[in-house]
Structure 1
Amino acid sequence: MDVNDAPVLDAGELLDAYKSGALTPLQALQGVTERIARRNPEINAFATLNSAALDAARESTARWQEGQARALEGVPVTVKDLIDVRGLPTRRGSKTTDPAPVAQDAPLVARLRAAGAVIIGKTTSTEFGWKSPGDNPLNGITRNPWNVAHTPGGSSAGAAAAAGSFFGPLHVGTDGGGSIRIPAAWSGVVGLKPSFGRVPQWKLGAFGPLAVAGPITRSVRDAALLLSVLAGFEKADPFSLPEPARDFGAGLEDGVKGLRIGILRHPGFDAPADEAAWGAVEEAVAILTGQGARIVEIDPALPDSGAIFSTLWGAGLAKTVAAVPQARLGLVDSGLLALAERYMQVPGLELLAAEAGRVEAAHAMAMLEVDAILCPAVPHGAPPVDAAYGDAVEALLQHWASWTMLFSLTRQPALSLPMGVDAAGLPTSVQIAAPLYRDDVVLRVARAVEVALG
């Protein structure tokens, strides 16, 4: 085994290689950075690289030699550029933000460091995380590793593109309506939106009452490993679940025999999904049925989730844009400006009604008698990078977050799992969700399908 093998290994395999002495963290970092140097010029996954990564890899190499390795000792990881990393700027994909390095890690970044992870850089985000096409005014266009003429999706564009490009095994994204799951689906990788409050966050962004941080990886096992490090109570986050750290890898291989799994065909509005999207769902159904799961159709009494989410999304982004100095508004993505103007004067009663609708949707989903839920992750394959989206709200409902927004409103855990490719050679996927706080079940069902796919 040599440095060229390191980029294609998942985190568990890297840890095994370190333990056996087949590789060191320094060698793994060399292999990953050499791959980034070769491939990233056309992918554009990074907002910035971390010059301190080399020192961190040296420390990790010494820790393995001294028998003091921690949970992610020496494993390369990236962090989305909406999250603070000490010593690096947080630009949020915007020309309007401060280019100075921040002085303090976000809570989840502090956990990564404490676990021995080697932070290799910050990955691109759409501006303030506002849309699904993976471009922003500051960093330009991030491209899909399966076909660079297509978008990887967003807003965690760089994280998904980095995972699909083998720029290390572990990547942290954020998701307020689909921003982990959509790019994971379009880039052919695993993307987990944990239950709200599972992974501590501070500072909160435009979608504070909905958004979470979570893993983007190439395997379900790596998603469980990364979640195990990120999750746990943190007093800095007022929404943090009062739970101790836990191992989400426990029970991962227990299978699905006896589980009751529902197929969701109507997420509160007439969400589109093409033949390939439903084909991926049906393939997952066949696999799970063959493993002893009981599949049922579900039709929860949901309010109009599209209208509810659109209001909360638009108002949250309007608030973000309102904080940009007037003299710098010309630097903001024109689509975001138009959306902010549209929602800048949303009445308070309308916002309260949207929040009430969100709670109604959460109640309807909580009353379902199922252990897990299957539905499409995205309505179709990854669009071209230059695809015009027209009206942003219509694009949100018809092309971007059609199937993901519901689980953000209800705060449930949900995961996008790659299922193969469509007729155009682009990734297909299925979305797996579970009742609130049953992240373990999402991972367990996803792992069963992943193993069956081989």
Structure 2
Amino acid sequence: MSESAFDWLSAAELSKLFSRGEASPVEVLDAMLKRAAALQPHLNALVLIDKDGAQAAAKAAESRWRKGEPLSPLDGIPTTIKDTTNIKGWPTRYGSHSTDETPAPDNAAVTDRLLAAGMIIFGKSATPEFGWKALTDSPLQGFTRNPWNLAHSPGGSSGGASSLTAAGINPFNHGNDGGGSIRIPASHTGLVGLKPSYGRIPQYPADAPFADVISQGVLARSVLDTAMALNVTAGPDPRDWRSLPTEARDYTVGLDAGVRGWKIGLSLDLGHVKADPEVRELVAAAARRFEELGAHVEEVGPMFESLQEHFEPLWIGSFATRFRQIPTQLHDKLDPGLRALMEKGLAITLADYAKAFEARSRLARDLALWHRNYDLLLAPVAPTAGPPVETLYNSEAFPRWTKGAPYTLPCNLTGQPAASMPAGLTSAGLPVGIQIIGPPRADDVVLRAMRAFESATGWTWPQPKVLETLKGL
């Protein structure tokens, strides 16, 4: 496959080229559309491409840069929106035959923010049906594949976004995270994936079953790009009463201040989870990087009990809510694994739900109190590297509570910021992530730790294994 000069550049690097007149949004978009078209048959990461609309937006961005009037440093940078998220005039299919081609009546809040920054939305990325699992395949779209190894999953549910970003198609792509759906695909594809604090980026529409645990964000190849994206998406929206107040903060400032003197806990068994031995070794070694950076790292044990008993009612009960909205004649077209959970969730009672919410409050309280003595908590992102694409999620071989999202869900329940950073490669050449968890609403603290870790590891793009996999496609 032919390469262009723009394939692996970050958004920050492209922004500098635009400001100096050394590249234009039009030529960058053209190169990225060509790469996307060449890789789509192999990765299956996109569900929709709007070439004409993107080209018109690129011309408008080019004109603004020439006049010295960009809407933001990200003006003219191409990106995509996950297909659980509205773009006005485009269908939102959720990877499901139970949806149709009806255009969305308005934009999601995060879509509005990216467009207001001048970003070019050239397509929508793949997701499992209704974002239900930490892998990305759906009845509507089929399997999305990992650029590191096409036989493996890029994770989920923001797997289309991770596949696009890791394949060098464009600098970063929108994702959202209701149980690990940014961090897990970031881990499985060697990317930077920040789940911001709940409410940091507003949610609209905010009436989905999981709206009170979902955070919007991006999957990127650098911490600086992640901070730049947060700059243009963070802040309150009157349509989301839970969105956090404006922070008078540029998230790119102070990134390089380091972590010297910080007290950091490491929990390889967070919630009594047993990761694969190779994952544990890579995460433990990655944690030692923080000691090299001047922090004090100590192992702190499992932290809390297994999540399944307390929180399964929230998960399957919320899916049952969705199930009730789907016409009976379409039930046979659902992902069988999802349908089984939805039907099981019909038995959840109000008392079950109430107990789960009480447990959630206790978990949030306990972790907030723990952070009074620790600046950060480190843990694995997922118990395994990216599994084969044919893996049956929540099956006996790959249960959600022990193999899927047990390390990431706690931070969705508490709302605190958490990120995945590449910790290294398994013997099979697949990436593994380390999770960096910060105190409530301390997104700047997590970003600073992410940047310190990034500077210590020397992890750069393009990665040789990805180039090898994509060569000749």
TM-score of Structure 1 vs Structure 2, range by shorter chain: over 0.9
Counterpart selection for 2:391 from 372, 376, 387: 387
Query: What is the CA distance between 1:119 and its match in structure 2?
Result: 0.6
Counterpart selection for 2:448 from 412, 429, 444: 444
1:407 aligns with 2:408: no
Q: Give the partner amino acid of 2:119.
A: A
Query: Who is 2:355 aligned against?
Result: 353
Query: What is the CA distance between 1:134 and its match in structure 2?
Result: 0.9
Query: Who is 2:380 aligned against?
Result: 376
SS at match of 1:28: helix
Query: Who is 2:154 aligned against?
Result: 152
1:220 aligns with 2:245: no
1:335 aligns with 2:341: no
Divergent runs of 4+, >4 A? none
Query: What is the CA distance between 1:444 and its match in structure 2?
Result: 0.8
Distance 1:348 1:310 in 2: 13
Query: What is the CA distance between 1:421 and its match in structure 2?
Result: 1.2
Comparing 277-286 with 296-305, which one deviates more in the overlay? 296-305
Query: What is the CA distance between 1:157 and its match in structure 2?
Result: 1.1
* Equivalent runs, 1:6-405 vs 2, <5 Å: 6-51=6-51, 52-71=53-72, 72-204=74-206, 205-244=208-247, 246-268=249-271, 270-299=272-301, 302-368=304-370, 369-389=373-393, 391=395, 395-405=399-409
SS at match of 2:148: coil
Check whether the contact 2:146–2:189 (CA below 8 A) recurs between aligned residues.
Answer: yes
Distance 1:117 1:301 in 2: 41
Distance 1:190 1:101 in 2: 32
Query: Who is 1:417 aligned against?
Result: 421
Distance 1:385 1:39 in 2: 17
Distance 2:309 2:192 in 1: 28
Query: What is the CA distance between 1:304 and its match in structure 2?
Result: 3.7
For residues 425 and 348 of structure 1, do their structure 2 counterparts lie closer, same or farther at Cα, with a shift above 3 Å needed?
same
SS at match of 1:192: strand
Distance 1:69 1:296 in 2: 46
Q: Which runs of 5+ in 1 are unaligned?
A: none
Query: What is the CA distance between 1:378 and its match in structure 2?
Result: 0.7
Deviations along 1:78-117, one digit per CA (max 9) or x if unpaired, are 1101110112111111111131221311111111111110
Query: Who is 1:427 aligned against?
Result: 431
Query: What is the CA distance between 1:283 and its match in structure 2?
Result: 2.3
Query: What is the CA distance between 1:169 and its match in structure 2?
Result: 0.7
Percent same amino acid at aligned positions? Answer: 38
Query: What is the CA distance between 1:306 and its match in structure 2?
Result: 2.8
Q: Which runs of 5+ in 2 are unaligned?
A: 459-473
Query: What is the CA distance between 1:389 and its match in structure 2?
Result: 4.0
For residues 301 and 376 of structure 1, do their structure 2 counterparts lie closer, same or farther at Cα, with a shift above 3 Å needed?
closer
Query: What is the CA distance between 1:246 and its match in structure 2?
Result: 3.1
SS at match of 1:4: coil
Q: CA RMSD in A?
A: 1.7
Check whether the contact 2:393–2:400 (CA below 8 A) recurs between aligned residues.
Answer: no
SS at match of 1:7: coil
Query: What is the CA distance between 1:397 and its match in structure 2?
Result: 1.1
Check whether the contact 1:128–1:206 (CA below 8 A) recurs between aligned residues.
Answer: no
Check whether the contact 2:268–2:302 (CA below 8 A) recurs between aligned residues.
Answer: no
SS at match of 1:88: coil
SS at match of 2:199: coil
Q: Give the partner amino acid of 1:100.
A: T
With the length of structure 1 as denominator, give the TM-score of the two structures. 0.96
Check whether the contact 1:309–1:409 (CA below 8 A) recurs between aligned residues.
Answer: no
For residues 394 and 410 of structure 1, do their structure 2 counterparts lie closer, same or farther at Cα, with a shift above 3 Å needed?
farther
Distance 1:166 1:320 in 2: 35
Distance 2:353 2:396 in 1: 19
Q: Give the partner amino acid of 2:35.
A: R
Query: What is the CA distance between 1:18 and its match in structure 2?
Result: 0.7
For residues 273 and 303 of structure 1, do their structure 2 counterparts lie closer, same or farther at Cα, with a shift above 3 Å needed?
closer
With the length of structure 2 as denominator, give the TM-score of the two structures. 0.92
Check whether the contact 1:3–1:27 (CA below 8 A) recurs between aligned residues.
Answer: no
Check whether the contact 2:307–2:401 (CA below 8 A) recurs between aligned residues.
Answer: no
Query: What is the CA distance between 1:170 and its match in structure 2?
Result: 1.8
Q: How many pairs are equivalent?
A: 452
Query: What is the CA distance between 1:417 and its match in structure 2?
Result: 0.6
Deviations along 1:137-156, one digit per CA (max 9) or x if unpaired, are 11111001100100111111
For residues 393 and 131 of structure 1, do their structure 2 counterparts lie closer, same or farther at Cα, with a shift above 3 Å needed?
farther
Comparing 306-315 with 249-258, which one deviates more in the overlay? 306-315
Check whether the contact 1:233–1:244 (CA below 8 A) recurs between aligned residues.
Answer: no
